[in-house]
Amino acid sequence: MKLDDLGNWRRTHKCREITEQLDGQEVIVMGRVGDIRDLGGIKFFILHDISGSIQITASRKKTDPETLSKMDALTQESSVAVRGKVVKARQAPRGVEVVPSEIRILNLAATPLPLDPGGKVKANLDTRLDARGLDLRRAEAIAIFKIRNQALKTIRDYLLSQGFIEVQTPKIVATATESGAALFPISYFDREAFLSQSPQLYKEVLTGAFDRVFEVGPIFRAEEHDTPRHLNEATSIDIEAAYLTAGDVMEILEELIWRAFDSVKRNCAEELRILNHRLEMPEKPFPRITYDEAIEKLNAAGININWGEDLSTPAERKLAEIIGGAYFIVDWPLALKPFYTLPKGDKLGDAFDLMYRELELASGGSRIHSEEMLVKQMKEKGLNPENFESHLLSYRYGLPPHAGFGLGLDRLTMVLTGAENIRECVLFPRDRRRLTP
């Protein structure tokens, strides 16, 4: 079939803007075709755009043959433009419909579809991710990404209002920053390089010039685990600020999380309804418990953790049962935190994790700003300071004391949308088995 050109047609209205007030008016709407129904004498289809949907209705008797034959040729998910008249119609889903005078079929979708974006037939996650471009047309998927977008906008606005400057640091790097997580090696001309695990070292250096910086960008982790909360490429919201401590950036983080919840609750009521998710506002201030208190509570609850051990998944689940909601775990054993963590006394680091129930949302803390101490701690962690030579150079010229955190945007989106798998919250997730689409 020959397709039509868009030509000089442009939308006069989005679907949601077609209301009874426009009764009798001529409009042009564009979008994708949803449900198609044929009652013999009358043919309908639902047109969807990002704003919503509108019913297009043509009676066989009153519609010209060309428009009718186009109505007959339509398949679900095709892209179309419709010029027509708005008509009040009690039977239509929104009490109003468009009666077409001309239809342009801009692209025709193949049949059968690999999945039903209308959501009537449920597909499993793998099938959906294989056809992600189509899967993202589902109302639930659109709702997730609208919520993610709303949260990110709120966070960005807040950080900008607090004097943070948004930066972009290199993603091709020479060394590791998070000793725990593995690196993806890449070939960089005749040398080996890596994909960046976090903007940590760069953002620390930048506090010397810009005082407060933040970055929203990808982090790459060659972790082999297959869990509902880990991906090999994730998006992190990283901040770093001069002349502040862990306690100060915890307050910034708390405010930013609270505002993200609040703005999603106020601006995304329809999306939350589509996802059937009741978002409970966390109460400020979030509880702060020390690592010592956490293991005390766990040991009392029958989960044995020796001092110095990391909290296992069952331990995190138990803590979530005991404390619930959003809470901070502070004052970690230094050995469990990265080399750049500022020590607090002999054995502790001035570092924190922000948890939401059993999910770690963010990690942060006060950082070392003395070159000597940084070198000492690198050695203690089995890292070779020679590999960090260019980074250490910036410590020689009066780098200010500073603190910051990394907050996982994909994990925050899980919490805000009620998604149980992080893959739902990322457009094209990268995991152990998935590199396409």
Question: Among all residues, which ones are annotated catalytic?
Answer: 221, 223, 229-230, 360, 363, 411
* Binding flag, residue 358, ligand ATP (CB under 6 A): no
Other CB atoms within a 10 A radius of the CB of residue 293 amount to 13
Q: Which does 70 bind (CB under 5 to 8 A by kind): ligand ATP, Mg ion, none?
A: none
Name the 3-class secondary structure at 199. Answer: coil
* Binding flag, residue 413, ligand ATP (CB under 6 A): no
CB closer to Mg ion, 359 vs 419: 359
Strand partners, 216: 237
Given 207, 341, 363, 417, the residue binding ligand ATP (CB under 6 A): 363
Q: Which does 221 bind (CB under 5 to 8 A by kind): Mg ion, ligand ATP, none?
A: ligand ATP
Structure tokens at 436: 């396409």
Given 67, 235, 363, 413, the residue binding Mg ion (CB under 5 A): 363
At 166, the amino acid letter reads: E
* Binding flag, residue 53, ligand ATP (CB under 6 A): no
Q: For ligand ATP, which stretch binds (CB under 6 A), given 21-29, 311-319, 365-373, 407-415?
A: 407-415
CB closer to ligand ATP, 99 vs 241: 241
Q: For Mg ion, which stretch binds (CB under 5 A), given 217-225, 226-234, 302-310, 362-370?
A: 362-370
CA angle 90-95-98, nearest 5°? 105
CB closer to ligand ATP, 44 vs 164: 164
CA atoms 300, 302, 307, 313: torsion sign: negative
CB closer to ligand ATP, 254 vs 410: 410
Within positions 216 to 275, which residues make up the interface with ligand ATP, using CB under 6 A? 221, 223, 230-231, 234, 236
Given 254, 410, 424, 431, the residue binding ligand ATP (CB under 6 A): 410
Q: Return d(Cα 244, Cα 277) in angstroms, integer.
A: 36
- The CA–CA distances, whole Å, from 39 to 60, 75, 86, 368 equal 10, 16, 21, 73
Q: Which does 351 bind (CB under 5 to 8 A by kind): Mg ion, ligand ATP, none?
A: none
Those residues whose C-beta lies under 8 Å from the C-beta of residue 267, and which sit 6 or more positions away, are 150
Q: Is 181 exposed, middle or buried (0-12, 13-18, 19+ CB in 10 A)?
A: middle
Q: Which does 55 bind (CB under 5 to 8 A by kind): ligand ATP, Mg ion, none?
A: none
Distance in Å, CB of 317 to ligand ATP, minimum:
13
CA atoms 3, 8, 14, 18: torsion sign: negative
Pairing status of strand 96-107 against strand 165-166: unpaired
Phi-psi region of 418 (alpha: psi -120 to 50; beta: other; left: phi over 0): left
- Pattern 164-183, binding to ligand ATP, x per CB under 6 A? --------------x-xx--
The closest alpha carbon to 239, from 217, 261, 264, belongs to: 217
What's the Rg (C-alpha) of the chain?
27
Q: Which does 223 bind (CB under 5 to 8 A by kind): Mg ion, ligand ATP, none?
A: ligand ATP
Q: Is 315 exposed, middle or buried (0-12, 13-18, 19+ CB in 10 A)?
A: buried
Count, residues near ligand ATP per rule CB under 6 A: 18
Q: Return d(Cα 121, Cα 123) in angstroms, integer.
A: 7
Annotated binding site for L-aspartate: 178, 221, 363, 367
- Interacting residue ranges for ligand ATP, rule: CB under 6 A: 178, 180-181, 221, 223, 230-231, 234, 236, 360-363, 406, 408, 410-411, 422
- Interacting residue ranges for Mg ion, rule: CB under 5 A: 363
Annotated binding site for ATP: 221-223, 229-231, 360, 408-411
